[in-house]
Amino acid sequence: MPPLRLGDHGERLAATYLTDAGLRVLDRNWRCREGELDIVARDDGALVFCEVKTRRGTGYGHPAEAVTPAKQRRIRLLAQRWLAAHDEHAPVIRFDVVGVLVHRDRPADVTHFPAAFS
């Protein structure tokens, strides 16, 4: 599976996982000049900005480990842009990470890290 398709596959799995966990997905692959947010969702009173990382193996660590401090800064900036462009308000804003580990011979492992950074 090419990297772009792998990422799309992981995002679909993450959106399904989050929905099954009770979150309501508001937006997927939202883009602006500065970049893209993978998933924006609502979890009760919280507005959740979720980064999804997908890998085929752990040779470079768990997929969630790819959300570096620089990536976190970018996600916070993108969250500000999303909020400015939408009429959504919440008393709590949360930044989650979903790591998806795709296997050849069995279903993918999906790991959700709520409030992974602030």
pLDDT digits (tens, 9 = 90+) for 71-86: 999 999 999 999 999 9
pLDDT-derived band at 1 (thresholds 50, 70, 90) equals low
Q: Which of 62, 37, 44 minimizes the C-alpha distance to 112?
A: 62
Q: What is the CATH number for 78?
A: 3.40.1350.10
Count other Cβ atoms within 10 Å, centred on residue 108: 15
Q: How far apart are CA 57 and CA 27, in angstroms?
A: 28
> What is the value of pTM for the model shown?
0.93
Task: Count the domains in the chain.
Answer: 1
| Residue 2 pLDDT exceeds 70 | no
Chain position carrying tokens 């893209």 = 36
pLDDT-derived band at 90 (thresholds 50, 70, 90) equals confident
Sheet-wide strand order for 109-117 = 24-32, 35-43, 46-55, 92-101, 109-117
% the chain with pLDDT above 90: 86
Q: Which domain holds residue 83?
A: 3-117
